[in-house]
Amino acid sequence: MDLMTTYAPAEASERTGLSLDTLRYYERLGLFGPVRRTTTGRRVYSDHDMAWVGLLVCLRNAGLGISDLQRLMGRLRDRSGGPTGVVELLEEHRSRLHGEIAKMNLALGVLDDKIAHYRGEAGQSKK
């Protein structure tokens, strides 16, 4: 059927930027997979796996915790049961993310203030 590309663990690791351990870790937690195996038990990652992991990495970068991912992935997995709230979950995090960004920008402002402050003021403070 599909003659799709497959990846040995090492290559999967390289392509995703995750360590072998982390890849296995994510799989163990059910964040993706199960990954196909050779008869002798070695993992064979598919394009599909890779895409999934790519999403995982992205969401982790976006600040979602492992448990968030577990919930999310669980829902994406069995989308057979009607309204599973995937969109809601994503949107919820989306607004969280906005909040984070706002907070960071705020901190950035404070940082700028501090920089200006410490650069402007020579060598003595103390009130």
* Smallest separation, CB 85 to its own copies (Å): 10
- Nearer Cβ to its own copies (20/112): 112
Q: How far apart are CA 25 and CA 13, in angstroms?
A: 12
* Smallest separation, CB 124 to DNA (Å): 30
What per-residue string of b and e applies to 74-113 under the rule 16 or more CB within 10 Å gives b?
Answer: ebeeeeeeeebebeebeeebeeeeeeeeeeeeeeeeeeee
Please list every residue from 47 through 106 that binds DNA, using CB under 7 A.
Answer: 60, 65-67
* Smallest separation, CB 29 to DNA (Å): 9
Q: What residues make contact with DNA under the rule CB under 7 A?
A: 8-11, 13, 19-22, 24-25, 37-43, 60, 65-67
